[in-house]
Structure 1
Amino acid sequence: MIRGRFRVSDFGTVNSELYLRGLFQHFEPGFQVQNIAPLLSHFRRTTQHVTKVLLTAFEPYDRWPDNSSWMSLMELTHWYDGPVELVTRRYPVNLLKMSERLRADLQAGYDFAIHCGQAPGSTQMRLENVGLNLRTDGAEILPDAPAAYRSKLPLAISAQKIRDAGIPAAVSHHAGTYLCNAALYLSHHYSAAFSMRTQSLFVHVPLAPSQVARENSDAPSMSVPMTSAALAILIQSLVASAT
């Protein structure tokens, strides 16, 4: 877990504006600094209310020794200093254990819960709009619970802000039927069932280049600095929408 208001001191920080300028110039030579002007303006904002954000990712699974969602989250904690209280979690790839951890974590009370997961084959950051009460075997995640939850967050606006920074992103309406979908559905359900203020969403993260190289594959990938920057833009977009 990493907690921090304005910064995550456990891992050290750098000035986020300078970091982002260097990030885009170094990893994406075609980018222009003005592409991230909207993001930089968000970083300069101040707010009286400190927004609480739960940011989660998954541990490695199957043949993957790394998980791009966790890699992105960890990269973000090295430099993010936005006006939020950021709490991170890494969840096990097990439905029962994950659901227990998630339910306990949400009790702390957050404005937003952003759950991230790895999406092999994806070419963009996908902001998931719908969580289904459905498992891979066709059974319900929770019996006698709503069939689905749909996000009330301005996902299209957030996706556009990410694209404005030169990072591929889109809103998706199907998160699958595995743990990614379960995390999104359960986060919505627990928040509704216990009358929490938390608004939830799920982000599917493409594979990192190192993962593709290890597989000797031609699968699409996105650099970890880019995916972490996308998460920062997303957080700032949500904070702005709530003020």
Structure 2
Amino acid sequence: MSTILLTGFAPFNQETINPSWEVVRRFDDQKIQASHTVKVAELACEFGTSITQLQQLLELHQPEFVICVGQAGGRPDLSIERVAINVDDARIPDNGGAQPIDQAIVEDGPAAYFSSLPIKAIVQALRTQGIPASVSQTAGTYVCNHIFYGLMHYADTHPGIKRAGFVHIPYLPDQACHHPGSASMSLETLESAFRLLLETCLLQNQDIRLSAGTIC
């Protein structure tokens, strides 16, 4: 049986929970399509450390599919990330106190990597079930983009990983009530969304053509 690795992050920036870990942890050892077992892990919200942890998990589990998940407070939907860029530029310190500015994630690495998930098919599948979703053109320059780039750099040299990518999710309602005007999504909806997302990744051999770009 093949393995899917899902990762979330520890809370950061004075939050007491991180929705990425709260939803990911619900999938530990679950079966998807009777052919894949899910393994989960919580990553430190720290530059450098998170990539080291991820690489250890990849060596341990030898997954076929890998999806890293992170919190994007203020976004109203599941943001299926298209591209990771080779730069750390932190607006705030990470949980270890590091605040890199204009630093390459991998020296002499490519400027960017594209997700290998069927991102548009995922968006269509989620919307069909009434779950807000969109293709995102930026994963930011904080630890989420850092781990996304680190994942894709690893996958680029390890052909056993068939698909890999990153998904940003909104606040949970308990968090949003402390951020007036911010969107939120329930844990139950997020769980349904990720089950459908994983099933789509397994069933969709090629992505679909769907207009999902932005003007600016």
* Whole-Å separation in 1 of the counterparts to 2:8 and 2:85: 19
Deviations 1:55-112, CA, capped at 9 Å, x for gaps: 000001121000011111234459x542221000000011121111111111232111
CA drift of 1:216 comes to: 5.6
What residue identity is the alignment partner of 1:204?
Answer: H
Is the 8 Å Cα contact of residues 212 and 221 (structure 1) preserved in structure 2? yes
* Whole-Å separation in 2 of the counterparts to 1:197 and 1:55: 13
Structure 2 spans left out of the alignment, 5+ residues: 90-100, 207-216
What is the TM-score normalised by the length of structure 2?
Answer: 0.83
2:213 aligns with none
Q: Does 1:179 align with 2:179?
A: no
**SS in structure 1 of the partner of residue 146 of structure 2:** helix
2:112 aligns with 148
* Whole-Å separation in 2 of the counterparts to 1:156 and 1:143: 31
2:56 aligns with 104
What is the TM-score normalised by the length of structure 1?
Answer: 0.74
Percent identity between matched residues is: 29
What residue identity is the alignment partner of 1:167?
Answer: I
Structure 1 spans left out of the alignment, 5+ residues: 1-49
Number of equivalences: 192
2:4 aligns with 53
The two structures, once aligned, show a CA RMSD in angstroms of: 1.8
What residue identity is the alignment partner of 2:188?
Answer: P
Is the 8 Å Cα contact of residues 28 and 39 (structure 2) preserved in structure 1? no
1:25-174 matches, cutoff 5 A: 50-77=1-28, 81-82=31-32, 83=34, 84-107=36-59, 108-136=61-89, 137-174=101-138
Which of 192, 214, 226 lines up with 2:189 in the alignment?
226
Q: Which 4+ residue blocks in structure 1 deviate beyond 2 angstroms?
A: 74-78, 80-83, 193-198
- Bigger CA radius of gyration: 1
Which structure shows the bigger proportion of residues in helix conformation? 1
Is the 8 Å Cα contact of residues 162 and 169 (structure 1) preserved in structure 2? yes
Is the 8 Å Cα contact of residues 31 and 38 (structure 2) preserved in structure 1? no
1:202 aligns with 166
